[in-house]
A = this chain, B = another copy of it.
Amino acid sequence: MAEAASEDLLLAAAFVSDAQYNRNIPFKTSPEAVRLYRLYNHWTMRTATYFFIFLNLSLAMFEEPAVYPLPFLVTSLVEVLCLLVFFGRLTHFARVTHRSVFWKDTKNICIMAAILLSLTDLAIYGVLRIYNMKSVRWSRIVRPIFLINFAESRQIRRAFRSIRNTLPEITYVFLLFMFSLLMFSLMALKLFGERNLQTAEGLPYFRNYLEIVFDLYVLVTTANSPDVMMPAFDFSSWYALFFIAFVIVNTYIFMSLFLAVVYNNYKKHLKNEIRKLAYMKRRKMIEAFNLLKEEEGAQFVVREARWKQLVKLVAPDISNSHRELLLHISDDEQKNFIDKKSFLQLADLLNIQVITLKIRSHPLGRWMPRVYKSAVSRFLRSMVRHRGFVWTYDVIILINAIFIALDEESPYISYAEWVFLALYIIEILLKVYTYEPRAFFGKNQFWNWFDTLIIFAALTATILNTTLKSTTKYNSQQILDIVFILRVLRLIRIVDSIQRFRVIMNTLINIIPTMLTFGGLTLVVYCVFAIIGMELFHGKIQFFPANSNAPHALECGNPALKDSLFARGKYCKNNFNNFASSFIVLMELTVVNQWHVFANGFANVTAQPAKLYFIAFHIVMVIIIVNIFVSFILEAFFVEYSLEKSEVETAIEQKIQELGMGVQEDELQDEQLLENMENADHNLEGEGGSKPQSKGLVFKIASKPYEGTAVVSEVLLWPRSPFSSLSYVHSVFLLDWIMRVQDS
């Protein structure tokens, strides 16, 4: 009986956990499967999977053509290891879920096919290699499949689904756009084709229909903007009208239309996803409730003790006080049970990350109270807390900026650097002296962490550099570069002093996690295109240092590039000779400018259809993915600005306010709070010790538990899971939050 109950609890915990993290895996409900499922979702397993996925992807750096060459045996062994891990993960998953479900899921089929393909390709390549025959490692292109299809990368899959849903509509706009392009090209052929005009490079201008189409497609991206027009414009000013009409129709209207279609679909899709997620979440929570429910009067409820066990299982690392807060919210009327409606909220409640942060009196105050509470110390602390302190350091930062901009050679300037470093270190020490160290380095104190890390890294690097210089008389270039960067990064802190900038910065910081999804998306697209690009263009273009006397060094080692814009722009290092430089080329193509020079260059050294590779990349990356990125920024920005709170958050906040534990953000000057609390403590005592405690919760200023220090918990609702705009959370501050439950 007890065992059955504990199995139910485990199963319920699995449901709640799935609801909390929006997982949607139909696992088997046998106790063994549930335990396996728990293991499957453990963070170590997930991290390991990610590690091997990225290891597998990064193999491209070490395989031919390699950035850092490793023997084939090593890379192939690593690849086999990765594939084994993936297979293990898949097997684990197969044992967790029902067989029919497993085989219906295209994700699993994809992974298996990818593993098989990779192995066969590896085997064939290895065998051919033994007989010294060259072949293509074509299976490398399937590697991103692992990144997309493992259940952990839900967000990347969601982004891909969003793209897939956008495709039909975007295709129609694209076809219309292509039609417009073809029409304009035909017009250009008729208007300019027989004028015998020449481009600035002396090539024939607008003679060949396909070339015109390509040139005008490039004009849509604005990359060859005035150049493509100049010969016609020089011939007659009226021809400028043709190009102006072209740009208005194709660049401005059609490109905006693409953004509109993508954005519209993105919004629609996001709404559907959120609706579906909410439905799934509710269903899982109902299943969990049904497992734990007991009869109480006319209704089914979950008893408090079971609820606590459940929460401990689902979220083992949250603090007691946090759990009590959740209980207090769920069991609103202190009836010692939780009804169905409150229970269903649990997943959302858990999702609102509450950081428990204890503000204590300063440790120095405990260790040497006399010194710490002396007049000098008090004055120092009040000085640090004064606004003037911040302003002084803002001025110091500005002066530092000027010094950085000045010439490094003068010895005074390099001494000044030490002065500034010292000043910054003093600032940090003073702050740590004034504020409680654990509060200063709280999880949410982004700028404090940023500051301290930058300063100490700069200190280390500067000392390292100086010792190197004094011992070997030689500046290490890498260390110096890092020192320079750190020195400038220090200046960023000034942004935090201006309220409006802080708001914008916080918006940007909040959307960083989701931008990682786009990072993943971009990684997948880049990987695929980089691998194709390496197969197509590897070795065709080479980079020689400036003083090289290799043949055709100026033409990137390829006479076909003579007089081309590619060679003239000294673009030789932009090649597909290894994975890293392919990525850089693709980055440059994403930025769009001069992409036609790349396209023409690589087409010259191979064949004209090579341009299709560049056009395809432009369509996929710029027209689709960059537009989705922009849509995402727009949506995130609007949500951040509208400052709407979800229902659950409002409920929590309300409860906090009811309990009298809310504070305004600007009140949160730690020391001041501490003092207020001390006063409150006295008042309470003045009123006659402990008041009668209602509802089983005691709010008490714990003046004695830790040897005479006031202990305060600051519970902070912290933004989380930025992808779903449902749960944009805004900070609510709690303090004075120590609970002693009477029955414990």
**Chain A residues close to B by CB (< 8 Å):** 172-173, 175-176, 179, 183, 186-187, 189-191, 194, 200, 209, 222-227, 229-230, 233-234, 237, 240, 244, 247, 251-253, 256-257, 259-261, 263-264, 401, 404-405, 408, 481, 484-485, 487-489, 491-492, 494-495, 500-501, 504-505, 508, 543, 545-546, 568-571, 573-574, 580-581, 584, 587-588, 591-594, 626, 629-630, 633-634, 637-638, 641
Contacts and interface: CB of A to CB of B under 8 A. Distances in A.
11 contacts: A179-B494, A183-B489, A183-B492, A190-B484, A190-B485, A223-B593, A230-B569, A233-B584, A237-B580, A256-B634, A261-B637
A500 B581 contact: no
A619 B366 CA distance: 57
A264 B226 contact: no
Contact of A591 (B247, B481, B494, B574): B247
A281 B223 CA distance: 48
Contacts of A227: 569, 594
Nearest to A632: B256
B224 A593 contact: yes
A567 B604 CA distance: 26
A576 to B, nearest CB: 14
A256 B263 CA distance: 13
Nearest to A193: B408
Contact of A173 (B237, B251, B504): B504
Contact of A172 (B401, B492, B504, B594): B504
A627 to B, nearest CB: 10
A182 to B, nearest CB: 8
Contacts of A240: 584, 587
B594 A633 contact: no
A251 B225 CA distance: 19
Given A226-B569, A226-B571, A234-B573, 16 more contacts: A172-B501, A172-B504, A186-B401, A191-B485, A225-B588, A225-B592, A230-B574, A237-B581, A237-B584, A240-B587, A252-B626, A256-B629, A256-B634, A257-B504, A257-B637, A264-B638
Contacts of A570: 200, 230, 234
Contacts of A591: 222, 225-226, 247, 251
A297 to B, nearest CB: 48
B633 A191 contact: no
B593 A263 contact: no
A200 to B, nearest CB: 5
A84 B584 CA distance: 63
Nearest to A254: B508
Given A225-B593, A264-B637, A591-B251, A233 B190 contact: no
Contacts of A183: 488-489, 491-492
A315 B194 CA distance: 54
Nearest to A641: B264
Contact of A209 (B257, B405, B494): B405
Contact of A505 (B176, B225, B251, B252): B176
A570 B227 CA distance: 8
A633 B257 contact: yes
Given A504-B172, A569-B227, A408 B488 contact: no
Nearest to A587: B244
A634 B263 contact: yes
Contact of A225 (B172, B257, B594): B594
A636 to B, nearest CB: 8
Nearest to A224: B593
A366 B489 CA distance: 86
A187 B637 contact: no
Contacts of A626: 252
A380 B587 CA distance: 61
Nearest to A179: B495
A253 B508 contact: yes
Contacts of A630: 256, 259
A584 B237 CA distance: 9
A190 B487 contact: yes
B225 A501 contact: no
B629 A568 contact: no
Contacts of A587: 240, 244, 247
A187 to B, nearest CB: 4
Contacts of A495: 176, 179
Contacts of A593: 222-226, 593
A224 B223 CA distance: 10
Contact of A230 (B187, B191, B573, B641): B573
Contacts of A244: 584, 587
A543 B260 CA distance: 41
Contacts of A637: 257, 260-261, 264
Nearest to A519: B248
Contacts of A405: 186, 189, 209
B259 A592 contact: no
Nearest to A182: B401
A352 B587 CA distance: 50
Contacts of A179: 494-495, 501
A653 to B, nearest CB: 25
A624 to B, nearest CB: 15
Contact of A233 (B233, B259, B261, B573): B573
A408 B222 CA distance: 31
Contact of A484 (B191, B259, B571, B641): B191
B404 A186 contact: yes
Contacts of A225: 588, 591-594
A638 B252 CA distance: 17
